[in-house]
Amino acid sequence: MSEGGTRQLAIFGGRPTFAKPLHVGVPNIGDRERLYSRIDSILTRRVLTNGGPLVAEFEARIADLVGVRHCVAMSNGTVALEIVTRALGFEQEVITPSMTFVATSHALQWQQITPVFCDVAPGAHHLDPARIKDLVTPRTTGILPVNLWGRPCNIDTILSVAGQYDMPVVFDSAHAFGCSYKGKMIGGFGQAEVFSFHATKFINSFEGGAVVTDDTGLADKVRLMQNFGFQGRDTVVHVGINGKMTEIEAAMGLTSLESMGTFVEHNRRNYHAYKAGLHRVPGVELIEYDEGERCNFQYIVIELDERITSVTCGQMLEILSAENIDARRYFYPGCHRMEPYRSYFPNAGLLLPNTETLLSKVLTLPTGTSVSVEQVEKITALIARVVENGPSLSVRFRAGISRKSSYANAACEA
């Protein structure tokens, strides 16, 4: 793409690649007739919440798939994090990464627990176990690592370090349902793990989440706390809130589980299409999955090396957005640079150099059942053309040339 060819880009007035935006995390639906049938059964029974039969079935299915004794379904993953950390006595300070969705930190801060941000390992996307010891103080009461992108963190080492301090570990596995670590399903590690079944997850229950654990006493306590502390019909024995999953959420969750194999296979095909299209593009690294393990292939994540591409992560995002490719900068700029944390810890970035470097170059790209292999091939071809013409594009960005698309309402290539 020559200097003249760069004008073909939508950001400079060309026709967008796609007629409608392709998003990261468009909900998977599954078999609509099965969903409608379940909803009809809910309306017939008139049991809408408070531990109906579909919630019980959903919990049993999750526990069986993960290989744990207990699953407590929740209204969402954030509430699940709040309840299980409270049930385990987390307070004062908890060590967690900044490279995560802000709900991980908020679940702590909401309870007036200080999230102590730990840097990611060099060249990695997960909490660095070697840094945990440097952050432990007499106020530290637990560790909350994240299995980001469905790729497990260094679970064994984290649990070993936690054991030295006799500290509980809860894994935020919002991304990692259906994945495994050393042949064992994610969900059975630490004191407990938390899943999200939000609409953007490959298995969704509209909204929803779950706490999974092998600890019967913890499961009993969590179940009390998610239902106002009720034990039986009229007896309250513990403080609690309303964290219950509804029957209609469970109906969607069960329907999603029935199509889980189809969803994973579709994600796998898209992942391999991205891999094929990007593997020779200089300065663009696709974050790969270990296919010797169970994977959900839910996220397509790339790192851009600006020194090679000449185009920054932010500029690539603008270019793709104009083409109706709604890429995202997960999880820019990092929890430590969001409120209230940036006010509480204005110099936190000095202790998180690897995190800050990583956040400056990560993009996630559209996938899921609403995105086809053919569309992926167009996306990768576009990224390759952008990188090929990176120096001239960089000049145009520095000159302050903004998007001047005359095709905003025109018929575009599907």
pLDDT by 10s per residue, the chain, length 414 = 445 456 689 998 999 999 999 999 999 999 999 999 999 999 999 999 999 999 999 999 999 999 999 999 999 999 999 999 999 999 999 999 999 999 999 999 999 999 999 999 999 999 999 999 999 999 999 999 999 999 999 999 999 999 999 999 999 999 999 999 999 999 999 999 999 999 999 999 999 999 999 999 999 999 999 999 999 889 999 999 999 999 999 999 999 999 999 999 999 999 999 999 999 999 999 999 999 999 999 999 999 999 999 999 999 999 999 999 999 999 999 999 999 999 999 999 999 999 999 999 999 999 999 999 999 999 999 999 999 999 999 898 888 754 443 333 333 333
Gap between the Cα atoms of 317 and 13, Å rounded? 16
Gap between the Cα atoms of 246 and 38, Å rounded? 13
Gap between the Cα atoms of 394 and 189, Å rounded? 46
Tell me which residue of 145, 128, 109 sits closest to 344, measured CA to CA: 109
377 secondary structure, DSSP code = H
Token pair, residue 99, equals 């490279």
Gap between the Cα atoms of 94 and 108, Å rounded? 8
Ranges of each domain in the chain: 5-26+260-327+366-398, 32-258
Per-residue pLDDT, 237:
94
Per-residue pLDDT, 103:
98
User: Which strands sit side by side in the sheet containing 93-97, from one edge to the other?
Assistant: 114-118, 93-97, 140-143
Per-residue pLDDT, 401:
58
B/e letters for 202-241, b = 16+ CB within 10 Å, e = fewer, are bbbbbbbbbbbbbbeebbebbbbbbbeebeeeeeeeeebe
pTM above 0.75, yes or no: yes
Per-residue pLDDT, 6:
63
Token pair, residue 123, equals 């060249």
CATH value of 5-26+260-327+366-398 in 3.30.420.40, 3.20.20.80, 3.40.50.1370, 3.90.1150.10: 3.90.1150.10
DSSP readout, 167-206? Answer: --BEEE-TT-TT-EETTEETTSSSSEEEEE--TTSSS--S
147 secondary structure, DSSP code = -
Helix, strand, coil content of the chain in percent (nearest 5) = 40, 15, 45
User: What CATH number has the domain spanning 32-258?
Assistant: 3.40.640.10
Tell me which residue of 81, 300, 57, 85 sits closest to 174, measured CA to CA: 81
Tell me which residue of 96, 59, 103, 99 sits closest to 78, measured CA to CA: 103
